[in-house]
Amino acid sequence: MSNFKEQLKQARISVDQNLQKWLPLPDNLSARVVEAMRYATIGGGKAFRAFLILTTAKMFDLPEANAINIATAMEMIHAYSLIHDDLPSMDNDTMRRGKPTVHIQFDEATAILAGDALLTNAFEVLADETTHPDPMIRTKLIKMLAYLAGKDGMVGGQMIDLIGEKQTLNLEQIEMLQGKKTGALLMFASTASAVATKAPEEQLNALKTYAKCIGLMFQITDDILDVVGDSATVGKTLGKDKDETKSTFVSVLGLEAARQKAEELGVQADDALSIFGEKAITLKEAAHFILERNY
Ligand code: GRG
């Protein structure tokens, strides 16, 4: 297994251990919502965003004890977005990560509450003293994640995505929408460790360029998988973009040009990391993984 694949697997294991700590099953009447939160987070998905945080933590000497909480908060917000995205009022999906979506496994009201609580409790994790000894750093991380997950980031992108189901979007609009919907959380994941260690501006900017590239690449490969992927491997229903006449990179560019665009972005992501030399090798492997991914 490559270094990248091992580290991705390790990120999943480490975050799961920390989620067990932050989401213990209570012995009371609210246990059902915690069950749904655990169902949506523990052992589910690639933990790619957590991996980015833990990898950049090593690059910037952020202690793993701090980074793991940032990674856990990140995966909680990611899981919330997937639960809500799958709801009948949004994408109306029944399968995610190879198992029934949260509203199917539990019920719609519980799914909404589980998403709400994951969003809220993520900020509890970030605000905790164990996340960073400096309260100013914790506040900075909280503000950054709130901004990137909210109206100017992921939620704003999701709104434009829903509008895009009713009207055709051009390439520029699709890039803007995906930069927010998919790119914003990847921006946080790529830069949080650098922010937490007060990295020099030049290094932070390099990571921001890398994040912008991988955000778009991630979405392009998602659009490609929707057309050519294997639903058992991807773990969800595919072919939905076409059915819903959604404007996507593939619908606007076609498969080949979309692939080529992803490859060009991969080169740009690589270039952005050149100032880190050998230290950025795992991040480069991560960009390559996005290009090749089949799940
Ligand atoms: C409902 C507020 C709200 C936002 C939803 C992220 C999102 C916005 C919707 C998800 C739709 C989607 C499939 C986007 C494509 C990119 C993406 C985020 C894929 C899922 O991320 P992965 O592949 O998932 O990292 P795993 O399961 O591996 O964690």
Residues 114-161: tens digit of each pLDDT: 999 999 999 999 999 999 999 999 999 999 999 999 999 999 999 999
Give residue ranges with CB within 6 A of ligand 1.
45-46, 48, 78, 81-82, 84-85, 90, 97, 154-155, 158, 181-182, 218-219, 222
- Note the pLDDT of residue 245: 77
CA–centroid distance for 27 within its chain: 31
- Note the pLDDT of residue 69: 98
* C-alpha to C-alpha distance for 286 and 96, rounded to whole angstroms: 22
Write the residue with the smallest CA distance to atom 17 of ligand 1: 182
If you measure from the C-alpha of residue 103 to the centroid of ligand 1, how many angstroms do you get, rounded to a whole number?
16
Residue 49 CA, closest ligand 1 atom number: 25
- Note the pLDDT of residue 3: 84
Handedness of CA 232, 54, 145, 188 (dihedral sign): negative
Write the residue with the smallest CA distance to atom 26 of ligand 1: 45
The tens digit of pLDDT for each residue in 183-210 reads: 999 999 999 999 999 999 999 999 999 9
Residues of the chain short of pLDDT 50, as ranges, are none
- Note the pLDDT of residue 241: 78
- Note the pLDDT of residue 240: 81
If you measure from the C-alpha of residue 274 to the centroid of ligand 1, how many angstroms do you get, rounded to a whole number?
29
* C-alpha to C-alpha distance for 188 and 21, rounded to whole angstroms: 23
CATH class of 2-292: mainly alpha
CA nearest 263: which of 277, 249, 247?
Answer: 249
Neighbours of 226 (CB within 10 A): 22
Query: For the chain, which residues make up each domain, given as ranges?
Result: 2-292
Write the residue with the smallest CA distance to atom 13 of ligand 1: 222
* C-alpha to C-alpha distance for 100 and 237, rounded to whole angstroms: 11
